């Protein structure tokens, strides 16, 4: 059985790490290279960097940042934000990223997943899905959760897996930044897909992470606030998960 992974997430805006609630009220929490190096030293299994700056200038700044991260950090890291073509993906992979993630652009053009997977391999592409509950239905959203689409979470997750995504990163927009726990029932259902599932949105306690890795059957737990604010040190988290019998790399 593969070890479960702990993945800090760093949202990047104009070269700085930021954090908010439900993708709003953002404020700076630190330098992304220094934070990433700190998390790697503490035992993080992987990192995710998401560029939330929308401009082309921001994306160029992000590419340069990826090169600096790759030079400093010795664990796998995934990058995303504004990737809308095979060339965009290639630029970031060439800068040193281990994997890229696509979200809004893939919803608009699902064949983007096929194209990136065909050129670089499924192991290099993570499909990020943001969704929220609307009228009793998990509705896929884009542009940082601000635009509902006509896609339903589980059918879209099935489609991205079939198109060649090597992993799925699902964020519940209703839980993001709230520290009230992950929707474990949703992750347990997603776990039936033939690709690893990364859980995102809602981590506030060690119990929340333990629950999503066990009850939710997620392959990895992604979190931001609890790490950025030093609320749960990664070594403490991993030791507690290990004590609970969860297969984790110490």
Catalytic residue among 51, 88, 130, 211: 130
Tokens of residue 99, six digits = 């994997």
Residues with Cβ < 8 Å from 115, sequence gap 6 or more? Answer: 86
Interatomic CA distance for residues 164 and 157, integer angstroms: 11
Q: Which residue reads 């696509």 in tokens?
A: 102
Whether residue 176 lies in the annotated active site: no
Interatomic CA distance for residues 57 and 6, integer angstroms: 31
Burial class (CB within 10 angstroms; exposed 0-12, middle 13-18, buried 19+) of 246: middle
What is the DSSP secondary structure assignment for residue 123, as one 8-state letter? G
Whether residue 174 lies in the annotated active site: no
Catalytic residue among 11, 45, 88, 219: 11
Residues with Cβ < 8 Å from 132, sequence gap 6 or more? Answer: 138, 139, 141, 145, 148, 172, 173, 174
Residues catalogued as catalytic: 11, 130
């Amino acid at each position: 059985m593969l070890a479960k992974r702990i993945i800090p997430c760093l949202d990047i805006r104009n070269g700085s790490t930021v954090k908010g609630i439900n993708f709003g009220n953002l404020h700076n929490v630190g330098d992304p290279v220094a934070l990433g190096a700190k998390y790697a030293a503490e035992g993080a299994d992987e990192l995710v960097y998401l560029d939330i700056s929308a401009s082309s200038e921001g994306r160029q700044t992000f590419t340069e940042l990826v090169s600096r991260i790759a030079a400093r950090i010795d664990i796998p890291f995934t990058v995303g934000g504004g990737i809308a073509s095979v060339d965009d993906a290639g630029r970031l992979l060439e800068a040193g990223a281990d994997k890229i993630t696509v979200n809004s652009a893939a919803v608009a053009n699902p064949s983007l997943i096929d194209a990136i997977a065909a050129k670089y391999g499924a192991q290099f592409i993570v499909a990020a899905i943001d969704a929220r509950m609307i009228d009793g239905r998990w509705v896929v959203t884009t542009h940082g959760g601000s635009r509902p689409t006509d896609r339903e979470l589980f059918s879209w997750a099935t489609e991205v897996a079939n198109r060649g995504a090597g992993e799925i990163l699902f964020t519940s927009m209703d839980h993001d930044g709230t520290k009230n726990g992950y929707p474990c029932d949703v992750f347990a259902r997603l776990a039936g897909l033939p690709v690893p599932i990364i859980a995102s949105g809602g981590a506030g306690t060690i119990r929340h992470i333990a629950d999503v890795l066990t009850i939710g059957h997620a392959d990895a737990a992604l979190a931001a606030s609890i790490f950025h604010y030093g609320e749960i040190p990664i070594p403490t988290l991993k030791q507690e998960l290990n004590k609970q019998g969860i297969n984790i790399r110490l």
